[in-house]
Amino acid sequence: WDKSSIWYKAVVRADQDHSITIGFSSSVGEGSVVKTLSATTTQLETGLPPDTYVGHYVIVGSGCVLKSCRVDDFVLVGDKCTILEGSIVSDHVILEPGTVVHPYQHIPSGQRWGGNPAQKIADLTMGEKESIQEEAEKIHATALDHILEFLPHGFTYVQLEELEKKAAEAEAAK
């Protein structure tokens, strides 16, 4: 899933035997936390394991918390949303910023939800459904720009700039 992105100050943390899956072309926004319940919890009230699943083309906004939940494909999770354990957010859903999805709540496909607790606002139009994938692909393109700026050790960017300058000079000399 090399098109997924985890943005600055975001945390993805699973305890021991629990897993976190993040799908193709999905992104976890700045300062968001994606986690599982503690290792002492072996299963949810539903009988399922307390894993966290984020599907394909999912956009998790900044400052969100996802805990042992399932977010299916083509979902836009607005900034500062909270999705708690056992919750299921189906395909083609938009959660308005600040929405709180309570434990074991189910958000049906093709709808816009908001509030605390989360409540249905409207059905999504076909255009809104299609825009989720388009936005996810735009975020991926932005992530590619940020890869070049990543500085794992000090002033690596200075060396990159020097190499780019030398390459430009060599090209101009041809």
Q: What pLDDT shows up at residue 40? A: 85
Instruction: Spell out where 36-173 has E strands.
Output: 52-54, 59-60, 65-67, 70-71, 75-77, 82-83, 88-89, 93-95, 100-101, 106-107, 111-114, 119-123
Q: What pLDDT shows up at residue 116? A: 95
- The amino acid sitting at 162 is E
Pairing mode, strands 20-22 and 111-114: unpaired
Q: Which pTM was predicted?
A: 0.82
Asked whether residue 34 carries a pLDDT value surpassing 90, the answer given is: yes
Confidence of residue 149 (pLDDT cuts 50, 70, 90): low
The residue with greater pLDDT, 17 or 12, is 12
Q: What pLDDT shows up at residue 138? A: 94
Mean pLDDT of 19-45: 92
Listed residue (125, 49, 113) closest to 81, CA to CA: 113
Asked whether residue 131 carries a pLDDT value surpassing 60, the answer given is: yes
Asked whether residue 1 carries a pLDDT value surpassing 70, the answer given is: no
Mean pLDDT of 2-10: 88
Residues composing the chain: 174
Mean pLDDT of 109-118: 97
Mean pLDDT of 16-34: 94
E strand or H helix at 162 = helix 156-173
Q: How many CA atoms lie within 13 A of 155 on its CB side?
A: 4
The residue with greater pLDDT, 71 or 42, is 71
Structure-block tokens of residue 17: 């035997």
Listed residue (90, 42, 36) closest to 65, CA to CA: 36
Confidence of residue 62 (pLDDT cuts 50, 70, 90): very high
Strand arrangement, sheet containing 106-107: 20-22, 52-54, 70-71, 88-89, 106-107
Q: What pLDDT shows up at residue 147? A: 75
